[in-house]
C-alpha cells in the first residue's frame, strides 16, 4: 500500500508517496501547482527534503506559471490568440465561413474559418479535432519508422488528452497512448515519447536494460526527457 505524507520544504508543501519503486518522481500538477513526489519506500524524510530543495527553482517556476495563467484549455478561439503547433508559435486569425476549416498560412498565422453561429465550445471541439488529425498524420509516419528500427510492433495507437503523462504503454495489449499536447511541441519530443513507449514492449520497467536500449536507439533521450518535463502539461 502506498504511504502518503505531507512534507514542507521552505514555502513548498509536497505530498510524498512512498512506493515500491526504484526512482524519484516529481510532478507539479494543474490547475494550482500542487507538488507530488513519489519515492522508494526506504527513503528517509530528510532525503526527500534534499531532493525537493535541489528541484526548488524548477518547482517554483512551474507553480508561478500556473498562478499567472489560466488553464490552457480555457481558450476563446478568437483572432490574436497565440497557439503552438509542432513547436512553433502562431497567431490565430478567425475568418467567417459557411463550413469550418483550419489552414496554416506563412510562418505566423493559423487561419480558422468559422461559421458565425459557432460557440466557443464548438470552436474548441473543431480545433482539437484538427489537432488530433495532425497528430495522427505524424504517428502514421513516425511509429512505423521506429517499429522497424527497434524491431517491435504495436497493435493499436490511441490519442488522448492526459494531465500527468506524455505517453503510456500497455505491453500486454501492445497498445500505445500518446498525449494530444505533443502535437504542439517540437517533433523531436514526439519521437522521444514514441521510442520510450515502444521500448516498453520489450522491457516493461525503467531499469538498466531499458536505459541501455534508449541510449542505443536515441542517444540524446535523457536531454529530451529533461526538456520535455520542463513543459507544463
191-201 pLDDT, tens digit each: 999 999 999 99
Instruction: For residue range 98-145, list pLDDT tens digits in order.
Output: 999 999 988 899 999 999 999 999 999 999 999 999 999 999 999 999
Residues 6+ apart with CB under 8 A from 197: 167, 168, 169, 176, 177, 178
- Residue 167 β-bridge partners: 178
* Residue-range domain boundaries for the chain: 3-68, 82-130, 135-229
Q: What is the pLDDT of residue 182?
A: 97
Could you name the CATH architecture of 135-229?
2-Layer Sandwich (3.30)
pLDDT at 75: 81
With 0.75 as the threshold, say if the pTM is over it.
no
Q: Which residues pair with 27 in a beta bridge?
A: 36
Chain centroid, CA 14 distance in Å: 21
Alpha-carbon gap, residue 93 to 136, rounded angstroms: 24
Taking 70 as the pLDDT cut, the residues of the chain under it are 1-2, 30-31, 66-74, 232-233
pLDDT score at 219? 96
| C-alpha to C-alpha distance for 120 and 81, rounded to whole angstroms | 13
pLDDT of residue 21: 87
Amino acid at each position: 500500500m502506498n504511504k502518503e505524507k505531507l512534507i514542507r520544504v521552505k514555502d513548498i508543501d509536497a505530498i510524498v508517496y512512498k512506493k515500491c519503486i526504484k526512482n524519484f518522481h516529481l510532478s507539479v500538477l494543474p490547475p494550482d501547482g500542487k507538488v507530488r513526489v513519489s519515492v522508494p519506500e526506504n527513503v528517509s524524510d530528510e532525503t526527500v527534503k534534499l531532493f525537493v530543495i535541489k528541484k526548488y527553482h524548477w518547482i517554483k517556476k512551474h507553480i508561478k506559471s500556473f498562478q499567472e495563467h489560466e488553464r490552457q484549455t480555457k481558450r476563446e478561439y478568437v483572432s490574436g490568440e497565440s497557439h503552438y503547433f509542432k513547436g512553433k508559435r502562431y497567431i490565430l486569425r478567425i475568418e467567417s465561413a459557411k463550413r469550418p476549416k483550419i489552414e496554416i498560412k506563412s510562418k505566423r498565422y493559423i487561419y480558422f474559418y468559422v461559421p458565425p453561429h459557432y460557440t466557443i465550445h464548438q470552436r474548441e471541439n473543431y480545433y482539437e479535432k484538427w489537432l488530433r488529425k495532425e497528430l495522427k498524420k505524424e504517428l502514421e509516419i513516425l511509429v512505423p519508422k521506429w517499429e522497424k528500427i527497434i524491431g517491435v510492433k504495436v497493435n493499436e495507437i490511441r490519442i488522448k488528452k492526459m494531465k500527468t503523462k506524455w505517453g503510456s504503454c500497455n505491453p500486454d495489449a501492445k497498445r500505445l497512448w500518446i498525449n494530444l499536447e505533443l502535437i504542439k511541441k517540437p517533433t523531436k519530443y514526439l519521437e522521444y515519447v514514441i521510442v520510450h513507449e515502444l521500448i516498453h514492449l520489450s522491457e516493461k520497467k525503467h531499469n538498466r536494460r531499458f536505459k541501455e536500449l534508449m541510449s542505443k536507439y536515441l542517444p540524446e533521450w535523457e536531454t529530451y526527457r529533461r526538456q520535455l518535463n520542463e513543459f507544463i502539461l
